Amino acid sequence: MQESGKVVQARLSGEEREKLLRKAEESGLSQAEFCRREGLPATTFYGWRKKLRGRGGEFIELERRQLKVGVGSTLELKLPNGAELKFSW
């Protein structure tokens, strides 16, 4: 989300984050200068970049849902990169 060249402080989608990171790379500016010009906190930018690199190049959007579970339940999460997370309680 942008307003006159500045990032509006709102939650950006994964796609919007990726676009902003690409724009930074293509700008030729230092990351700090890019963040300053876009009105984006550098710590936020670095966090996005770290997460993006750690997941093989893309953000994954998840939908939050309320689950009713009891003792002995297991929740499995399978990611596109083949990683699996299992939670049991």
57: left (phi over 0), alpha (psi -120 to 50) or beta: left
Q: pLDDT tens digits, residue range 30-81?
A: 989 999 999 889 999 888 888 877 655 556 667 777 777 778 888 888 877 7
Given a contact cutoff of 8 angstroms between Cβ atoms, the answer to whether 64 and 32 are in contact is no
pTM of the complete model: 0.49
pLDDT score, position 29: 92
Q: Per-domain residue ranges for the chain? A: 2-54
Token pair of 11, please?
């939650």
pLDDT score, position 37: 94
Q: Given a cut of 50, is residue 1 above it in pLDDT?
A: no
Given a contact cutoff of 8 angstroms between Cβ atoms, the answer to whether 30 and 42 are in contact is no
pLDDT score, position 58: 58
Strand partners, 6: 3
Q: pLDDT tens digits, residue range 8-21?
A: 446 788 888 888 98
- Find tokens 């939050």 and name the residue: 64
pLDDT score, position 74: 84
pLDDT score, position 57: 53
